[in-house]
Amino acid sequence: MNEKVNITINGVPLRVDENKTILDAAEELNIKIPTLCYHKDLCVAGNCRVCVVEQVGTNKLPAACATPVHDGMEIMTNSLKVRNARKHIIELLLAEHNAECTKCYKNGNCELQELAAEYKIINQEFMNLVADHGCTIDDFSPSIMKDDSRCIRCQRCVRTCAELQGVNALTVAYKGSEMKISTFFEKPISDVVCTNCGQCVNHCPTGALIEKNYIEEVWEAISDPEKHVVVQTAPAVRVGLGEELGFEVGERVTGKMVAALKRLGFDAVLDTDFTADLTILEEGTELLHRLKEALVDKNPDVKLPMATSCSPGWIKYIEHMYPEYLPNLSSCKSPQQMFGALVKTYYAKERKIKPENIISVSIMPCTAKKFEANRPEMHDSGYRDVDYVLTTRELAIMIKQAGIEFMKLPDEHYDRLMGESTGAGVIFGATGGVMEAALRTAYEIVTGREVPFENLNITAVRGEDGLREAKIKIENPVKEWAFLDGVELKCAVAHGLINAREVMELVKSGKSDYHFIEVMACPGGCLGGGGQPIPTDPEIRKRRMEAIYAEDMGMPIRKSHENPEVKQIYQSFLGQPYSEKSHELLHTKYLPRERY
């Protein structure tokens, strides 16, 4: 199939597949062509034109990202004509851009800034257009801020929201000089179908889409001697944070992260993995209950398949798009919110601290968790369960601000009580992880035996395919679960909301007979979350995923129900999984929302 063609780039001959673009071909020769609208996760737009190159013998300067090679093509990537045109294009972008870098959140991590620095765009003669555009800032959402004056209209966000997420909250409005990125009837992001997943933020090359940051609020809390500031860290943060602080992609920095958090001044450094394990016990038990009620008692009010509920991006998506399926969602809160509810009850009681003096902070790979913490439902401790949610990126900023030399830190351990975790908790950070952790536990509860997979690794639910299925047959269950004998448990795993839609359409059509589905809003799961380091792309997600599974393999305990602190909390506080106390603190409800 793949015909080869001969081309030259900057005089160097090259033989490449004919379906390659000029950009890909140049990469083979290690020649870098600057890009802006191009992103490895997205379809090619070819609209910024920064990647133009000279095709010798023609009058046009084609866009390298959008132009396939053909035989005999001679390309120059840095001729005078190219340089002049490219400088003009960058200059034009800057003319339309609120280029006050010192007042920009993305200062230091902005693709436009980098390009301007590279090309030394110093004499900007074109006229400034920012004032003509009457740009607006949308800061109504607790998760995401949009500043049109920083937007270069590359449409990466639009393509992200459409192609990766299938949400289409962001679209292009108007044309010509008035063209801009907007929403349904130009409503604030908080009032439309947006799921707060933050994928658009992660894919935006500039400061136009950023997370709403709470760095100053957290510094203030830390400095308040009255307050006991507790921090929890999500599973995926430990495989991403290093990228922001000098480590290679895929480096696990759990111990250094804990050490850094202690040095930042948090009073206790605890682990969301602990509540991930707790989620497994609650959710696993819920699943078994549902199976019993649906299969044996034939209760029509009990819905299958049961869907996971730990991704707030997914929750908001289903509230908007498939509200009729809300009863299918597990009633479990996300691990973050379980943690929040327990910190101001269980932890407060054990540590003898007044809950009103506790500030609970969480470090998440996620922007949707900012919204989630802000939901009115999330006050079951009697207080706001989670006070501030910071992304992986915000944590990195704080570490830099504090002057901590992260790479030289020793490895330290989480504090006790809610700091113990298992491999099962860690893999929550990867797509398929919740499913795998749940199966490890549920299978054992039902049969009294470990899941029949080598090293407990249920590889069928792992990987990068958008939608994966697995079956596991239950044989010789213990007496209590005898009705499950011979039942083949059918599971599906989807990540990226575009695939969530696919799985929901399958369920809707009645063509599927799943019992349990796991959905993570972000591609790759939380390791590819909207709050993770920028850039994130397929290769980077793959490396973070390898790191997650390596972390799992390295844990002494790899099954949630064996987590000693989890056992302890059931013993001394919650009673048993799915108990009344659990329901009060660890479970919740959802509400239908509009479709726009």
Partner 1 sequence: MSVTTYQLKRVDLIFKNENDWKQILSKTLKRKKEDIINSLISSELKGRGGAGFPTGMKWKLTSEAKEETKYVICNADEGEPGTFKDREILTQVPHKVLTAMAICAYVTGASEGYIYLRGEYKFLQKSLYNAIGEFERYCEEIGFHFRIAIFMGSGAYICGEETALMESMEGRRGEPRNKPPFPTDSGYLGKPTVVNNVETLVHTYTIFKYGAKKFRDLGVQYSRGTKLFSISGDTPIPGIYELELGMTLSDFVEEFGDGDTKAVQVGGASGFLVPRKRFAETQIGFQGKLTGVSLPTGGSMMLFNSSRSMFNVLNNYLDFFEEESCGQCTPCRVGCQQLLKGIHAVKRGDKPAVYLNKLLKLSENMQYTAKCGLGQSVGNSFASIVENFREEMIF
Structure tokens at 259: 């050490």
Kindly state the number of chain residues that form the binding site for ligand FES, as judged by CB under 6 A.
Answer: 13
Smallest gap, in angstroms, from Cβ of residue 62 to partner 1?
9
Smallest distance from partner 1 to CB 508, Å:
22
Active site residue 286: yes
Helical ranges in 374-432 per DSSP H: 392-401, 423-426
Contacts of 130 (CB under 8 A, 6+ apart): 96, 97, 98, 149
Residue 63 binds ligand FES (CB under 6 A):
yes
Nearer to ligand SF4, 161 or 545 (CB): 161
CA geometry: angle 160, 460, 437, nearest 5 deg:
85
**Applying CB under 8 A, does 131 fall inside the site for partner 1?**
no
Q: How far is it, in rounded angstroms, from Cα 120 to Cα 60?
A: 25
Q: Which residues, in sequence order, are bridge partners of residue 209?
A: 146
From the list 282, 283, 444, 551, the catalytic residue is: 283
280: contact with ligand FES by CB under 6 A: no
Q: 529 and 365 in contact (C-beta within 8 Å)? A: yes
Task: Give the integer Cα–Cα distance in Å for 541 and 551.
Answer: 15
Q: Is 596 in the site for partner 1 (CB under 8 A)?
A: no
From the candidates 149, 330, 334, 360, which is the catalytic residue? 330
- Answer yes or no whether residue 132 interacts with partner 1 by CB under 8 A: yes
Residue among 92 and 215 whose Cβ is closer to ligand SF4: 92
Q: What is the dihedral of CA 535, 536, 541, 545, to 10 degrees?
A: 70
**Encoded tokens for 359:** 């500030």
Residue among 5, 14, 36, 204 that touches ligand FES (CB under 6 A): 36
Given the rule CB under 6 A, which of 48-56, 216-224, 286-294, 460-468 is the region that contacts ligand FES? 48-56
Query: Taking Cα atoms as reference points, which of 358, 310, 299 lies closest to residue 338?
Result: 310
Tell me the one-letter amino acid at 224. Answer: D
Count of residues that bind partner 1 according to CB under 8 A: 40
> Closest distance between ligand FES and the C-beta of residue 25, in Å?
14
Of the candidates 72, 31, 16, 79, the one whose C-alpha atom is nearest the C-alpha of residue 53 is: 79
Q: What percent of the chain is helix, strand and coil (3-state, nearest 5)?
A: 45, 15, 40
- Please give the residues from 167 up to 196 whose contact with partner 1 meets the rule CB under 8 A: 171-172, 174-179
Per annotation, catalytic residue among 369, 491, 518, 559: 369
Closest-CA residue to 42 (of 547, 525, 595, 496): 496
Binding at 366: pick from partner 1, ligand FES, ligand SF4, none (beta carbon under 5-8 Å per type):
ligand SF4
- From 35-43, 294-302, 478-486, 587-595, give the range in contact with ligand FES by CB under 6 A: 35-43
Residues 52-111 contacting partner 1, CB under 8 A? 52, 59-61, 63, 66-68, 81, 84-85, 88-89, 92-93, 95-96
Residue 430 gets which letter from DSSP?
A: S
Closer residue to ligand FES, CB minimum distance, 51 or 456:
51
Q: Do residues 290 and 489 lie in contact, with contact meaning Cβ atoms separated by under 8 Å?
A: no
Active site residue 283: yes
The answer to whether 330 is a known catalytic residue is: yes
Q: Which helix (H) or strand (E) holds 452?
A: none
| Residue 69 is a binding residue for ligand FES (CB under 6 A) | no
- The footprint of partner 1 (CB under 8 A) covers 44-50, 52, 59-61, 63, 66-68, 81, 84-85, 88-89, 92-93, 95-96, 125-127, 129, 132, 152-153, 155, 171-172, 174-179
Which sequence positions are flagged as catalytic? 283, 286, 310, 330, 369, 372, 377, 526
